[in-house]
Amino acid sequence: MTINIETSLSSPSWHGTLEGMKLNLTSDEVLSTTRSVRKRLDFDRPVEREIVEECLNIALQAPTGSNSQGWHWIVVEDATKRKALAEIYKANFMLYASLPGRKYADGDQRIEQMPKVRDSAMFLAEEFHRAPLMMIPCIEGRLENVDVATGAGGWGSLLPAVWSFMLALRSRGMGSAWTTIHLILDGEKKAAEILGIPHEKITQGGLSPIAYTVGTDFKPAKRLPLEKVLHWDKW
């Protein structure tokens, strides 16, 4: 397999063979600079199946409750199916965007970030269909109307692998964004019909674009300071 490394992807540098090109990032840098990528997805560059499978093989090392390994990964290449999924996403996003936004106290840094977040999300809603690949991670069983322990065990047996997949993409100059908007109302059932997912026994966890990124110079995001969210021994 031959991978073309664009000269514009100059920071950080690349290392490895042509069959396994990866960015020259430490593990801490991968963990702290893997972003939800929307506007910087390269919709015009094809994504090789081999790279996706390589990243998923890494993701499959994530833990699952009782070693259940009840995950399934639907990767969508077909343009007609991608368009249909994007239409579900956009319709649900427009509904979501019409609802009142979250309220934060005066001075909260998240207020400053919200316009940028909304703009980025709207861009993805409009352009989702252009993503060269989409992926829906699934888990065996239905997780609606379950108790807290069952829900935590179910999602805890899928989302660590999803994050591992996104980290593996980042280290290879690619990006994604974990979204759940398509699951609103009957969106999950519609997606199941498009992809032949047995809805009665499989729960979808999200819908993600997969693409190379335009540039690789992602930085750590602004977050609330640790002292606001860390609790020792009591709340």
Model pLDDT for residues 103-128, shown as the tens digit of each residue: 878 878 787 777 788 899 999 999 99
**Tokens encoding 22:** 């990866």
- Give the dihedral of Cα atoms 174, 177, 178, 179; nearest 10 deg: -150
Could you tell me if 71 and 137 are in contact, meaning their C-beta atoms sit under 8 angstroms apart?
A: yes
> 162-187 burial string, b = 16+ CB within 10 Å, else e?
bebbbbbbbbbbbbbbbbbbbbeeeb
- In this prediction, residue 115 carries a pLDDT of 79
C-alpha 146/C-alpha 107 separation (Å) is 37
C-alpha 203/C-alpha 206 separation (Å) is 9
- In this prediction, residue 54 carries a pLDDT of 98
**Tokens encoding 82:** 């991608």
Q: Nearest to residue 206, comparing CAs of 187, 176, 174, 183?
A: 183
- In this prediction, residue 147 carries a pLDDT of 97
Could you tell me if 93 and 181 are in contact, meaning their C-beta atoms sit under 8 angstroms apart?
A: yes
Q: How far apart are the first and last CA of the chain?
A: 53
- In this prediction, residue 136 carries a pLDDT of 98
C-alpha 65/C-alpha 215 separation (Å) is 37
- In this prediction, residue 117 carries a pLDDT of 84
* CA 186 to mean position of chain CA atoms: 21
Q: Nearest to residue 135, comparing CAs of 174, 171, 92, 184?
A: 174
- In this prediction, residue 4 carries a pLDDT of 39
C-alpha 205/C-alpha 136 separation (Å) is 7
Could you tell me if 202 and 126 are in contact, meaning their C-beta atoms sit under 8 angstroms apart?
A: no
C-alpha 174/C-alpha 40 separation (Å) is 10
Q: Is 99 exposed, middle or buried (0-12, 13-18, 19+ CB in 10 A)?
A: exposed
- Domains in the chain: ranges and CATH: 23-98+116-219 (3.40.109.10)
**Tokens encoding 56:** 């998923």
Task: Encode the chain (235 residues) as per-residue pLDDT tens digits.
Answer: 333 333 333 467 656 543 458 999 999 999 999 999 999 999 999 999 999 999 999 999 999 999 999 999 999 999 999 999 999 999 999 999 888 877 878 878 787 777 788 899 999 999 999 999 999 999 999 999 999 999 999 999 999 999 999 999 999 999 999 999 999 999 999 999 999 999 999 999 999 999 999 999 999 999 999 999 999 999 9
- In this prediction, residue 10 carries a pLDDT of 43
C-alpha 85/C-alpha 89 separation (Å) is 6
